[in-house]
Amino acid sequence: MAENNTIDLEMGAGGEKSNELISKIRKNFKVHGKWKNTADDGAVYDLGKEKLVFTTDAFIIDPLFFPGGDIGKIAICGTINDLAVMGAVPIGISLSLVIEEGFSQSNLEKIMQSINIISKITNVPIVTGDTKVTEKGKIDKIEITTSGIGIADKIIENGGARPGDIVISSGDLGEHAVALLATRFNYKTKIKSDCQPIIKEIQSIRNYLTSAKDPTRGGIAEVLNEIAEKSKIKIILEEKNLPFKKETVALSELLGIDKFAFPSEGRFVGTVPQKYAQKALKTLQKFNKEAKIIGRVERGKGLYLSTNLGSQKLIEMPRGKLIPRIC
């Protein structure tokens, strides 16, 4: 890194400049010890027959409370879902809090209660934690870092998609972005954040999935580009099957923010061999009737949209400061 350079927001927004920053940070670390590197959202350890998966996520969002959730819900769901998309069943979450002096105790309790509700629903316990309080101005209200460990029989990797697979989405996408952007810009909508745990959904079709990822920062533009790159294949999405609600498309156009980069916090996209496509779809629709086959995998590279007019349009890895920090 150059002497006079500073970190800018684009480096944290998901997309290309984020990946550059993360690569620079990673370059500092050689692999010491027994662990073998993994490129996805978590580290993997062999425990005899099973695998242990270990992951972490930091959350500093504005607003703290939004339609459909709050920073606590998003923090625990984010870490649970990172484990889930790798095929793991979470067995414990650590909760690290940095709280600004003067923060309301009742808001803190509300946040802890929403964490507890997700912990209860998923049967994933909060097993350890840390709490720091800082002087006014050292942090904006509250920052939460959740780490998680989980157990998997078999890891679902991002690099496993194969030509002939179909691309499936567990539901309508981008609604976390809609809920938060609407709150920020005082835009009226009935759409709530999709923030929720997705362990059961993934486990239900785990044996069919050749790749899976939760489209948080950078949306499907980022994660499907990542799957395409790691799997060395081409993904083609069908415009007529796009998993966006009308209101999501409208807000995207109004704000001039690409809907493909809209984060979701309770969805996943993945690839499944053609022969299991209908079975996987029907299984997912039991959880969410908006689950859809949204595209297919071919030989080649990159992420494309097959438009209603019959042309193919490249969907690039997101660039620039996409949207305000909402996940």
**Listed ranges 134-142, 182-190, 244-252, 279-287: which one lies at the site for a second copy (CB under 8 A):** 134-142
The CB-side HSE value for 243 (13 A sphere, CA atoms) comes to: 29
**Listed ranges 132-140, 174-182, 252-260, 278-286: which one lies at the site for a second copy (CB under 8 A):** 132-140
**Residue 131 binds a second copy, judged by CB under 8 A:** yes
Restricting to residues 296-325, which ones interact with a second copy according to CB under 8 A? 325
C-alpha to C-alpha distance for 311 and 313, rounded to whole angstroms: 7
Restricting to residues 37-66, which ones interact with a second copy according to CB under 8 A? 41-43, 45, 47, 52, 54-60, 62
Partners of 98 in the beta sheet? 132, 143
Q: How far is the CB of 221 from a second copy (least distance, A)?
A: 19
Determine which residue in the list 64, 80, 85, 115 makes contact with a second copy, applying CB under 8 A. 115
Identity of the residue numbered 305: L
Cis ω on the peptide bond leading into residue 63 (within 30° of 0)?
Answer: yes
C-alpha to C-alpha distance for 202 and 89, rounded to whole angstroms: 10
Three-state DSSP class for residue 126: strand
**Listed ranges 24-32, 186-194, 260-268, 297-305: which one lies at the site for a second copy (CB under 8 A):** 24-32
Determine which residue in the list 20, 22, 286, 300 makes contact with a second copy, applying CB under 8 A. 22
Neighbouring residues of 298: CB distance < 8 A, sequence distance ≥ 6: 163, 233, 234, 235, 236
Number of CB atoms found within 10 A of residue 308's CB: 10
Q: How far is the CB of 307 from a second copy (least distance, A)?
A: 34
Restricting to residues 210-249, which ones interact with a second copy according to CB under 8 A? none
Restricting to residues 75-104, which ones interact with a second copy according to CB under 8 A? 91-92, 94-104
**Residue 30 binds a second copy, judged by CB under 8 A:** yes
| Both tokens assigned to 314 | 């490249």
**Residue 119 binds a second copy, judged by CB under 8 A:** yes
Q: Which is nearer to a second copy, 61 or 293 (CB)?
A: 61
179, 191 Cβ separation under 8 angstroms = yes
Determine which residue in the list 85, 124, 156, 303 makes contact with a second copy, applying CB under 8 A. 124
Counting residues that bind a second copy (by CB under 8 A) gives 86
Determine which residue in the list 20, 46, 63, 109 makes contact with a second copy, applying CB under 8 A. 109
Number of CB atoms found within 10 A of residue 30's CB: 5
What DSSP state is assigned to residue 35? P
